[in-house]
């Protein structure tokens, strides 16, 4: 029998996909292939300790001065360290437990920001070496980049303007955009939405274990810039570098090399329609 002339039957698309970034509903094969590439990702950079120098010592001094002014219990060092990366309102309510009155919380948060700016003085944020090269490399490979920070928007905009980095980010997430800061992953998830990338295809570049915790919570990869911190304390991250100069685009792509495919869903078998019994079967049942 010649089967060459018989019409071909189109088979349905497989229910299993190549990897977590695959989208069988895309009708453009080129776009679908691009999504499956390990280079199809989004990068989320932390502000302090990554994009600019770490000023946690100034934040600590500001909190201690505020406690003295308001007659509040002086926060211990471990509490101030825990507060790093959190919103000011979150620190006042949950870490220092000073008050839960909303108006009082806003007043104390505003006052902390004023003290911090006074301590900072005319010093402009210093951009560590390697930041601009990394941003240029990501732009060259069409990788969208977001900046995530729990600081007020006004301070971040002024800092980006002073450092000439205002046009280097596709999205900027500040304290006004989220309800909670690290270790809550809310800012990371919102940044991924702004970049148009699924969380499983985003890389967070932070400087502490709080960044790792928040990234793990929403399924993101995490790279930690150790700086002056001991590397052995940051081994929970997917990759630890001393400085950003050690991080290359190949390093970022390799974070997705072991992606697991999505297991196929078992298809339910259709129930066979009952066949009519023959005359012989009917007579046998009668007897």
Tokens of residue 88, six digits: 């000011």
Residue 276 CA to residue 48 CA, distance in Å, equals 77
pLDDT above 50: residue 264 = no
pLDDT above 90: residue 265 = no
**What pLDDT score was predicted for residue 22?**
76
**Phi, psi of 241, deg, nearest 5:** -125, 150
Tokens of residue 11, six digits: 């088979």
> Domain extents for the chain?
39-53+125-253, 56-120
Overall average pLDDT of the 252-261 stretch: 80
Overall average pLDDT of the 145-158 stretch: 92
**What pLDDT score was predicted for residue 85?**
82
**What pLDDT score was predicted for residue 273?**
58
Classify residue 56 by burial, with Cβ atoms within 10 Å: 0-12, 13-18, 19+: middle
**What pLDDT score was predicted for residue 277?**
59
Query: Helical H runs in the chain?
Result: 29-36, 56-70, 77-82, 88-90, 102-120, 131-140, 153-163, 186-195, 209-217, 249-254, 279-286
Considering the segment(s) 39-53+125-253 as one domain, its CATH architecture is: 3-Layer(aba) Sandwich (3.40)
Overall average pLDDT of the 263-285 stretch: 54
Closest CA to 219 of 203, 232, 205: 203
CATH, domain range 56-120: 1.10.150
Tokens of residue 82, six digits: 């825990």
pLDDT digits (tens, 9 = 90+) for 168-217: 999 999 999 988 888 889 999 999 999 999 999 999 999 989 999 999 99
**Phi, psi of 52, deg, nearest 5:** -130, 170
Overall average pLDDT of the 141-150 stretch: 93
**What pLDDT score was predicted for residue 20?**
74
The residue assigned the tokens 């509903």 is 25
Q: Which three-class secondary structure state does DSSP give residue 225? A: strand
pLDDT band at 267 (very low <50, low <70, confident <90, very high): very low
Highest mean pLDDT pick, 52-56, 66-70, 126-130:
66-70
């Amino acid at each position: 029998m010649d089967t060459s002339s018989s019409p071909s039957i189109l088979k349905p698309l497989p229910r299993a996909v190549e990897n977590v970034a695959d989208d069988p509903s895309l009708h453009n094969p080129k776009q679908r292939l691009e999504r499956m590439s390990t280079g199809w990702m989004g990068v989320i950079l932390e502000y302090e300790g990554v994009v600019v120098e770490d000023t946690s010592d100034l934040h600590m001094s500001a909190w201690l001065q505020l406690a003295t002014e308001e007659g509040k219990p002086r926060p211990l060092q471990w509490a101030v360290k825990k507060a790093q990366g959190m919103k000011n309102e979150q620190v006042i309510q949950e870490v220092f437990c000073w008050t839960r009155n909303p108006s009082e919380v806003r007043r104390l948060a505003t006052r902390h920001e004023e003290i911090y700016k006074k301590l900072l003085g005319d010093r402009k944020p210093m951009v560590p070496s390697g930041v601009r090269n990394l941003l240029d490399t990501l732009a060259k490979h069409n990788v969208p980049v977001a900046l995530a920070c729990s600081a007020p928007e006004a301070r971040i905009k002024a800092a980006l303007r002073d450092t000439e980095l205002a046009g280097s980010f596709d999205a900027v997430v500040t304290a006004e955009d989220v309800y909670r800061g690290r270790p809550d992953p809310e800012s990371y998830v919102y940044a991924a939405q702004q970049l148009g990338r699924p969380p499983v295809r985003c890389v967070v570049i932070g400087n502490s274990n709080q960044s790792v915790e928040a990234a793990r919570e929403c399924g993101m990869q995490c790279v930690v810039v150790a700086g002056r911190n001991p590397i052995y304390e940051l081994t929970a991250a997917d990759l630890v570098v001393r400085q950003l100069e050690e991080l290359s685009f190949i390093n970022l792509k390799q974070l997705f090399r072991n992606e697991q495919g999505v297991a196929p869903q078992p298809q339910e078998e259709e129930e066979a329609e009952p066949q009519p019994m023959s005359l012989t079967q009917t007579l046998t049942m009668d007897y």
